[in-house]
Amino acid sequence: MQGHNLLSARFTNNDRTTIVAEWADNADTNTIRTQYMEADDDNVQYKELLNHIDLDVIHENTIKYYKNANRNIIKYMEKVYKTSQSPLLSDKPVIEIGENMSTDNMSAVMKLIPMILFGDFNSEKYSESLFNLKLAIFELDFIKQSQSRKIKSEIRKAKTPIEILNNTVKIYNEIQNRPDNSKSNKKVSS
Amino acid sequence: MTVRTPVYWDGSSIAQMSASQITTIKQRCVYLFGGAGRPVNLTYIASDGSLRRMLDTSDSPSAEVSNTRSFANNTTSLGNTTDAGTSTTYDHINQTLTTPSDPTDTNNKLYPLYYDGSGNFQAMSKTDMYDTFINDAIDLLVDGNDRDGTYRLSTQPTTLANHTLVNANPIFVDTRFDKSIHGGDGSISEILPLSGTTTAEIEKWYLWRTNQGTSYGTPSVQSPLYINSDNDLQSYSTAEFDSVLEDLLFYSAASRNTYSIRYEVKGVSGTDTSEIIGNNSLDKTRGDVVTDTTLDSQVRINDQDADTYRSQNLPSGAGETETTYALKIYRT
């Protein structure tokens, strides 16, 4: 580019057919001009560019650019992920439930149980929560195995967590007390 | 094809032009094309320009998914972003043609004299003029260099040496999904639901015309001899010879088979490539190529507002070129 010094040039696409070059204006080196061109031996601009930079260097610049870009993308995504998942963004505590549940989280859940079971339960407000509890109960293997349609029906119709739990324990005890289940030592006290 | 060697008065005798003097006449033709009378022009138009449209594509976010329990519940129903899912058409370049009439040589003495090798001076025919000067001048004009009166693209919005801006409006704007929406500023607490403008401008391209005199300055030609209305030998004045050249050059550029000058936008690589039909020369790129770029990755954003847990995949990553377009000049 007339009156300019080449700063850098790299390919912009995987096919390596398009190049972006940055030039500094000789009259004002703070003015950087961007030029896009076809990497075509017949292209006037490309031929001029190769007077300033070797094709191998353009390829090297491209590899460096994308390596750097990929590194930045990974860093950025990690940052977004961490921030996005952070409890700091939530106005409620986040509790992870599962086999690796922390003792702190377990303590928090235990403290909630008496309130949930024996406190005033607003079945209208927490209808979806109640529904989720029923879904979780029906996922239990002994409930799936049970033939007690009546008790299962009671669970479906239950309006409070304690109703659900009472009927669940009934089924559990029925199964535990079957003769063919004598090997089991598990008992649930009522 | 018959190339002639015109003769001129060197001050004391009739002499044949040198190759260099003939080349200068061809360069004069290029200079004349930079004048206001050129018949092939490009203009900016609001829409429906006659040159092929270009598409600016951007990635689309996935649909937003939400529930009232947890971000994890969004996972199974969360889709991916769509690469180049939205598209804006740019068809602002319009080619306008004037159609000069085919020059006539009524008395067969309009054009310069040449020596026929048999002791006679003879006026060149129109075909001789094309073969000797005009065809090569047309080839110069379409060779891809900044030739007087031809058009090119540039990312420069206000200043480009030796060029005149055709219109301050860009003929193409490359946009991408605006990455700053999801945390460029480090704050990502209120992203979803998306609202307002979600794209960012990356680059703009403008239409420029190369100024008269850019290629060869103002070439000063040796004026050849011709036969005037009194059947005497006479040297053309500069204006007379320019007029002779312009009539042939402009008619050719507008209408002459295989030596007309035209422009077209061509998708040279990527997803929206195209071919130019009917070009009789290798089409040459004029100025900067246009790149339609998108982003090459996505990032999942979780955003909780009270009991609503929203998740959405948004475009992210580095730029990737979907299509490269070029303004081409060629003859047909």
Decide if pLDDT at B148 tops 60: yes
The lowest-confidence range among A21-25, A31-35, A56-60, A88-92 is A88-92
- Decide if A46 contacts A39 (C-beta within 8 A): yes
Decide if pLDDT at B51 tops 70: yes
- Convert the pLDDT of each residue in B155-169 to its tens digit: 999 999 999 999 999
pLDDT of the residue at B27 = 98
Q: Give the closest-approach CA distance of A68 to chain B in angstroms.
A: 10
- Decide if B294 contacts B57 (C-beta within 8 A): yes
Section A64-89 average pLDDT: 70
Section B150-158 average pLDDT: 97
> Are A34 and B155 inside 8 Å of each other by CB?
yes
Q: Which chain B residues are Cβ-neighbours of A80 within 8 angstroms?
A: 182-183, 188, 299, 301
Where exactly are the structural domains of chain A? 4-85, 121-181
- Convert the pLDDT of each residue in B176-217 to its tens digit: 999 888 864 444 457 889 989 999 999 999 999 999 999 999
- Decide if B118 contacts B75 (C-beta within 8 A): no
Query: Among A44, A72, A132, whose Cβ lies nearest the Cβ of B145?
Result: A44
Nearest CA in chain B to A3: B161
Q: Give the closest-approach CA distance of B91 to chain A in angstroms.
A: 20
Q: Is residue B2 part of a domain?
A: no
Q: Which chain A residues are Cβ-neighbours of B290 within 8 angstroms?
A: 36
Residue B61 tokens, joined = 């976010």
Residue B228 tokens, joined = 């005037």
Size of interface A-B (CB pairs under 8 A): 105
Cα-Cα-Cα-Cα torsion A9, A14, A18, A21, nearest 10 degrees, comes to -10
pLDDT of the residue at A100 = 62
Q: Which chain A residues are Cβ-neighbours of B318 within 8 angstroms?
A: 66, 69-70, 72-73
Report d(CA B194, CA B310) in Å as an integer.
11
Decide if pLDDT at A71 tops 60: yes
A98 vs B238: which has the higher pLDDT: B238
Interface check B299 vs A, CB under 8 A: yes
Interface check B161 vs A, CB under 8 A: yes
B191 vs B68: which has the higher pLDDT: B68
Section B32-41 average pLDDT: 97
Q: Give the closest-approach CA distance of B169 to chain A in angstroms.
A: 18
Q: Which chain B residues are Cβ-neighbours of A20 within 8 angstroms?
A: 291
Section B55-80 average pLDDT: 93
Bridge partner list, B177: B199
pLDDT of the residue at B71 = 87
Domain of B64 in residue numbering reads as: 7-331
Nearest CA in chain A to B266: A38
pLDDT bucket at A145, cuts 50 / 70 / 90:
confident
Residue from B81, B147, B205, B269 whose CB has the most chain A CBs within 10 Å, to mutate: B269
Q: What is the ipTM of this complex?
A: 0.82
Q: Which chain B residues are Cβ-neighbours of A91 within 8 angstroms?
A: 304, 306
Q: Is residue B139 part of a domain?
A: yes
Interface check B177 vs A, CB under 8 A: no
* A-proximal residues of B, 240-279, CB under 8 Å: 268-270
> What is the DSSP secondary structure assignment for residue B132, as one 8-state letter?
I
- Decide if B298 contacts B78 (C-beta within 8 A): no
Residue from A13, A47, A79 whose CB has the most chain B CBs within 10 Å, to mutate: A13
- Convert the pLDDT of each residue in B101-140 to its tens digit: 999 998 899 999 999 999 999 999 999 999 999 999 999 9
pLDDT of the residue at B149 = 98
Indicate the average pLDDT of chain B: 94
- Convert the pLDDT of each residue in B290-314 to its tens digit: 999 999 888 888 888 888 999 999 9
pLDDT of the residue at A98 = 54
> Are B302 and A84 inside 8 Å of each other by CB?
yes
Decide if pLDDT at A86 tops 50: no
pLDDT of the residue at B103 = 97
Q: Is residue B273 part of a domain?
A: yes
The tally of domains found in chain B comes to 1
Nearest CA in chain A to B161: A2
Residue from B201, B288, B291, B327 whose CB has the most chain A CBs within 10 Å, to mutate: B288
pLDDT of the residue at B77 = 94
pLDDT of the residue at A118 = 87
Q: Is residue B299 part of a domain?
A: yes
Q: Which chain B residues are Cβ-neighbours of A71 within 8 angstroms?
A: none
> What is the DSSP secondary structure assignment for residue B287, as one 8-state letter?
B
Residue B174's nearest CA partner among B206, B202, B207, B205 is B202
Residue type, A186: K
Interface check B284 vs A, CB under 8 A: yes
Q: What angle do CA B243, B249, B251 make, to 5 degrees?
A: 100
Q: Is residue B28 part of a domain?
A: yes
Q: Is residue B250 part of a domain?
A: yes
- Decide if B240 contacts B175 (C-beta within 8 A): no
Interface check B173 vs A, CB under 8 A: no
Query: Among B188, B269, B318, whose Cβ lies nearest the Cβ of A18?
Result: B269
Q: Is residue B230 part of a domain?
A: yes
pLDDT of the residue at A87 = 40
Is residue A93 exposed (0-12), middle (13-18) or buried (19+ Cβ within 10 Å)? exposed
pLDDT of the residue at A84 = 59
Three-state DSSP at B211 gives coil
Backbone torsions φ then ψ of A154, nearest 5 degrees: -65, -40
Section A17-41 average pLDDT: 93
The lowest-confidence range among A46-50, B28-32, B177-181, B205-209 is B177-181
pLDDT of the residue at A178 = 77
A131 vs B84: which has the higher pLDDT: B84
